[in-house]
Amino acid sequence: MNNAVFRLERPHNEPVYRYDPDSEEVRQLQEEILRQSKACVDIPLIIGGREIRTGDTAEVRMPHDHGHRLAVYHKAGRAEVALAIESALAAKDAWMNLAWEERVSISLKAAELLGKKYRNLINAATILGQSKNIQQAEIDAACETIDYFRFNAYFASEIYRDQPMSSQLMLNRIEYRPLEGFVYAVTPFNFTAIASNLNMSPAIMGNVTVWKPSDTAILSNYYLMKLLQEAGVPDGVINFVPGDGPLVSGVVFAHREFAGLHFTGSNGTFNRLWRQIAENLDNYRSYPRVVGETGGKDFIFAHNSADLGALSTAIALGAFEYQGQKCSAASRAYIPASIWPQLEGELCARVAKILMGDAADAENLMGAVIDERAFDKIAGFLERAKVSPDVEVIAGGGSDKSKGYFVEPTILLCKNPHYETMETELFGPVMSVYIYDDDKFEETLALCNETSPYALTGSIFSNDRYAAMKACDALRYAAGNFYFNDKPTGAVVGQQPFGGSRASGTNDKAGGRFNLLRWVSPRTIKENLTPPTDVCYPHMF
């Protein structure tokens, strides 16, 4: 019997390992990278806790060495997707009726397992399979995932504690019911942590999920699934179903018990899924919750009072870490003409120092972009930019896919503030810069606000507080995560809840209680301690 009144303390963020050269940390990680490089893992579906091999397979290859196969994974057919839904629904009652303290205990255990036993395994899989450098894998696959496990447990406890007032005559309570049905989690390639969170945030609130991982993050995602199983997530609560997106979605959206979509990925995919849901609306038991975090065209806006060292570093790291494949990556900058000549020199000097190559080599800040489709798309933008009269390529511009999908860190100086790379999400290491007249600060803020359909992240660099406040006001709806004198990437769970609006998504703020609230359907229960026994009002007696 569990009769404890349980209260969790606010957790601390997981400390980031430094991986200094010659440290024991780096030695162990390199050993694991080598072990995984030599293996070829056979990755099954995991449905109702059972491994299923369909024989319909595809390969996982290293983006920075595409001749190197890391794994073969099995893809779901319609029958397996249907089975995953049935397994989820069969697991539902026991899971939602388990005391919430037991569910959060599993999440906290997952955090401990990842912090120790699984850290190198999942970091190495992220480095090899998604071409993240060691530091980027550590802050994502290890630290952010652990933070989600711990902070979601804490926020869940806060939500359950939040109860309406009662009185001497009545008792009121809110029962935070999970959604009626199952949740469909569709996850992106670029953050291992997001893949975990899109499943675990609904699950911690008592929901069950069907999980379609990204084709290009299958290796790390498979190990995450194994970790969750070892942490004690019961069979059927999360069902790992790699496969063709449209096929999986077709079966999921046709099901009456589909209760919610938890998505992160591109704006185009999200719109397609939302339309499909809308078309099936009459078939559902409830209005599904649709939560999606999508693309960005994230900006750095400089005032002429900005510190140039901080600004040039923010542009270089914000645009080029993880090859510009963070939804929050800086990809357009607005720079006043008076500071540009000096900034250009500093920026190009910083970019010249960036090394690119094998993601496992600690010297390299950049690895490869995720796959050939991404490479071809970005290279197409670069080829057009090179011949455009509106653009001057001031750094990089080259690309080579012979061994891996490598795109140089590139800076485009755009004369036209509406040139395609100022507006469109490229999802690659390309920064577009527009120079404005110093006396057009406010007009340029308006231009920045209106230029792109997205509104995810953005920064203002200014040492003039009035200018910073002007930017903060003018760009109120241009970013859901806004930074003063910092790059627009690197949000930390519990510190900067993450998400944007406009075409960037539903802004339900992963890593905060807002998100968890989307996965419950509260029931209010009133108990009258002294029910009336007469139809007359008091004054009628």
Distance in Å, CB of 111 to ligand NAD, minimum: 21
Nearest of 514, 502, 141 to residue 296 by alpha carbon: 502
Instruction: For the segment 423-462, give every residue that binds ligand NAD (CB under 6 A).
Output: 425, 427, 456
Per DSSP bridges, beta strands 258-264 and 289-293 are: parallel
Packed helices 218-231 and 119-130: angle between N→C axes, nearest 10 degrees: 160
- Bridge partners of 74, per DSSP, are 57
Question: Per rule CB under 6 A, is residue 63 in the interface with ligand NAD?
Answer: no
Q: Which of 249, 410, 449, 462 binds ligand NAD (CB under 6 A)?
A: 249
In terms of CB distance, is 155 or 454 closer to ligand NAD? 454
In terms of CB distance, is 218 or 435 closer to ligand NAD? 218
User: Do the beta carbons of residue 371 and residue 419 sit within 8 Å?
Assistant: no
Q: Which of 80, 293, 344, 358 binds ligand NAD (CB under 6 A)?
A: 293
Distance in Å, CB of 81 to ligand NAD, minimum: 11
Nearest of 126, 70, 516, 452 to residue 298 by alpha carbon: 452
In terms of CB distance, is 266 or 485 closer to ligand NAD? 266
Question: Per rule CB under 6 A, is residue 187 in the interface with ligand NAD?
Answer: yes
Q: Which of 36, 196, 209, 214 binds ligand NAD (CB under 6 A)?
A: 214
In terms of CB distance, is 215 or 344 closer to ligand NAD? 215
Distance in Å, CB of 540 to ligand NAD, minimum: 60
H-state helical runs in 70-118: 78-97, 100-115
Q: Which of 220, 239, 269, 432 binds ligand NAD (CB under 6 A)?
A: 269
**CA dist., res. 426 & res. 284, Å (int):** 36
Question: Per rule CB under 6 A, is residue 321 in the interface with ligand NAD?
Answer: no
- What are the Cα distances from residue 459, in Å, to 303, 411, 416, 503? 11, 18, 21, 18
Half-sphere exposure of 469 (CA within 13 A, CB side): 3
Question: Per rule CB under 6 A, is residue 481 in the interface with ligand NAD?
Answer: no
Dihedral sign, CA of 315, 317, 323, 329? negative
Q: Which of 44, 245, 490, 522 binds ligand NAD (CB under 6 A)?
A: 245
* Contacts with ligand NAD, 130-169, as mask; x by CB under 6 A: ----------------------------------------
Question: Per rule CB under 6 A, is residue 264 in the interface with ligand NAD?
Answer: yes
In terms of CB distance, is 213 or 409 closer to ligand NAD? 213
Q: Which segment (227-235, 266-274, 333-341, 402-410) binds ligand NAD by CB under 6 A?
A: 266-274
Distance in Å, CB of 18 to ligand NAD, minimum: 25
Q: Which segment (245-253, 254-262, 306-314, 522-530) binds ligand NAD by CB under 6 A?
A: 245-253
What are the residues whose beta carbons fall under 8 Å from the beta carbon of 42, sequence distance 6 or more? Answer: 53, 71, 72, 73, 74
> DSSP class of residue 518?
T
Could you tell me how many residues of this chain bind ligand NAD (CB under 6 A)?
32
Annotated active-site residue 293? The verdict is yes
Q: Which segment (106-114, 168-176, 265-273, 311-319) binds ligand NAD by CB under 6 A?
A: 265-273
Catalytic hit among 14, 138, 144, 327: 327
Angle 50-56-62 from CA coordinates, rounded to 5°: 95
Burial 168-180 (b: 16+ CB within 10 A, else e): eeeeeeeebebbe
**CA dist., res. 208 & res. 540, Å (int):** 53
**CA dist., res. 142 & res. 456, Å (int):** 24
Q: What are phi and psi of 435, to 5 degrees?
A: -95, 130
Residues recognised as catalytic: 293, 327
For ligand NAD, the binding residues (CB under 6 A) are: 186-191, 194, 212, 214-215, 245-246, 248-249, 264-266, 269, 272-273, 293-296, 327, 425, 427, 456, 498-499, 504-505
